[in-house]
Protein backbone atom coordinates (compact mmCIF):
# COMPACT_ATOMS: atom_id res chain seq x y z
CA UNK A 1 0.00 0.00 0.00
CA UNK A 2 1.42 3.37 -0.96
CA UNK A 3 1.73 6.24 1.42
CA UNK A 4 -1.34 8.42 1.46
CA UNK A 5 -0.63 11.97 0.49
CA UNK A 6 -2.23 14.41 2.83
CA UNK A 7 -3.81 17.31 1.06
CA UNK A 8 -4.44 20.13 3.43
CA UNK A 9 -6.85 22.71 2.11
CA UNK A 10 -6.72 26.07 3.77
CA UNK A 11 -10.07 27.49 4.76
CA UNK A 12 -10.17 31.04 3.49
CA UNK A 13 -12.28 33.84 4.88
CA UNK A 14 -13.72 34.42 1.42
CA UNK A 15 -15.08 30.85 1.29
CA UNK A 16 -16.64 31.19 4.74
CA UNK A 17 -18.23 34.50 3.77
CA UNK A 18 -19.64 33.07 0.56
CA UNK A 19 -21.10 30.09 2.40
CA UNK A 20 -22.67 32.35 5.03
CA UNK A 21 -24.31 34.49 2.37
CA UNK A 22 -25.67 31.39 0.65
CA UNK A 23 -27.01 30.14 3.98
CA UNK A 24 -28.64 33.54 4.62
CA UNK A 25 -30.29 33.50 1.17
CA UNK A 26 -31.59 29.97 1.72
CA UNK A 27 -32.77 30.98 5.22
CA UNK A 28 -34.79 33.91 3.86
CA UNK A 29 -36.16 31.87 0.97
CA UNK A 30 -37.17 28.89 3.11
CA UNK A 31 -38.87 31.00 5.75
CA UNK A 32 -40.63 33.11 3.13
CA UNK A 33 -41.99 30.02 1.35
CA UNK A 34 -42.98 28.50 4.68
CA UNK A 35 -44.84 31.67 5.60
CA UNK A 36 -46.52 31.78 2.19
CA UNK A 37 -47.78 28.18 2.36
CA UNK A 38 -48.42 28.11 6.13
CA UNK A 39 -52.02 29.18 5.67
CA UNK A 40 -52.71 26.10 3.55
CA UNK A 41 -51.75 23.65 6.30
CA UNK A 42 -52.61 25.46 9.50
CA UNK A 43 -55.14 27.91 10.81
CA UNK A 44 -52.64 29.25 13.35
CA UNK A 45 -50.56 32.28 12.31
CA UNK A 46 -46.94 31.59 11.29
CA UNK A 47 -45.57 33.93 13.93
CA UNK A 48 -42.88 35.79 11.98
CA UNK A 49 -43.42 38.91 9.92
CA UNK A 50 -41.64 39.43 6.62
CA UNK A 51 -39.59 42.17 8.28
CA UNK A 52 -38.36 39.71 10.91
CA UNK A 53 -37.52 37.09 8.29
CA UNK A 54 -35.57 39.56 6.13
CA UNK A 55 -33.82 41.09 9.13
CA UNK A 56 -32.70 37.71 10.48
CA UNK A 57 -31.28 36.75 7.07
CA UNK A 58 -29.55 40.08 6.65
CA UNK A 59 -28.00 39.78 10.10
CA UNK A 60 -26.71 36.31 9.23
CA UNK A 61 -25.01 37.71 6.13
CA UNK A 62 -23.87 40.93 7.83
CA UNK A 63 -21.74 39.05 10.32
CA UNK A 64 -19.40 38.04 7.50
CA UNK A 65 -19.75 41.03 5.17
CA UNK A 66 -16.66 42.88 6.51
CA UNK A 67 -14.56 40.18 4.85
CA UNK A 68 -15.97 41.03 1.42
CA UNK A 69 -15.66 44.74 2.14
CA UNK A 70 -12.00 44.20 2.99
CA UNK A 71 -11.42 42.29 -0.26
CA UNK A 72 -13.08 45.03 -2.32
CA UNK A 73 -11.10 47.77 -0.59
CA UNK A 74 -7.84 45.87 -1.19
CA UNK A 75 -8.64 45.60 -4.90
CA UNK A 76 -9.42 49.33 -5.08
CA UNK A 77 -6.14 50.06 -3.32
CA UNK A 78 -4.23 47.85 -5.79
CA UNK A 79 -5.86 49.61 -8.75
CA UNK A 80 -4.92 53.04 -7.42
CA UNK A 81 -1.32 52.01 -6.66
CA UNK A 82 -0.79 49.89 -9.79
Q: The domain containing residue 52 runs over which residues? A: 13-81
- Does residue 6 sit within a domain? no
Residue 41 lies in a domain: yes
- pLDDT score at 8: 62
pLDDT of residue 34: 92
Between the alpha carbon of residue 44 and those of residues 32, 39, 41, the distances in Å are: 16, 8, 9
- State residue 51's pLDDT score: 92
What's the pLDDT score for residue 60? Answer: 81
Region of 47 on the Ramachandran plot (φ > 0 left; ψ -120 to 50 alpha; else beta): left
Helices 50-62 and 13-41 sit at what angle, rounded to 10 degrees? 170
User: How many whole angstroms separate alpha carbon 76 and alpha carbon 20?
Assistant: 24
In a domain, 7, yes or no: no
Residue 21 lies in a domain: yes
Q: What is the pLDDT along the chain (82 residues), one digit of tens a residue?
A: 555 556 666 777 677 778 888 888 999 999 999 998 988 888 888 888 899 999 988 888 877 777 767 777 778 888 877 6
Supply the pLDDT for residue 29.
93
- What domain count does the chain have? 1
Amino acid sequence: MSDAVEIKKEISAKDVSLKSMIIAAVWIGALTLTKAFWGLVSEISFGLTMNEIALSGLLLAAVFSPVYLSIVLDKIKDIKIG
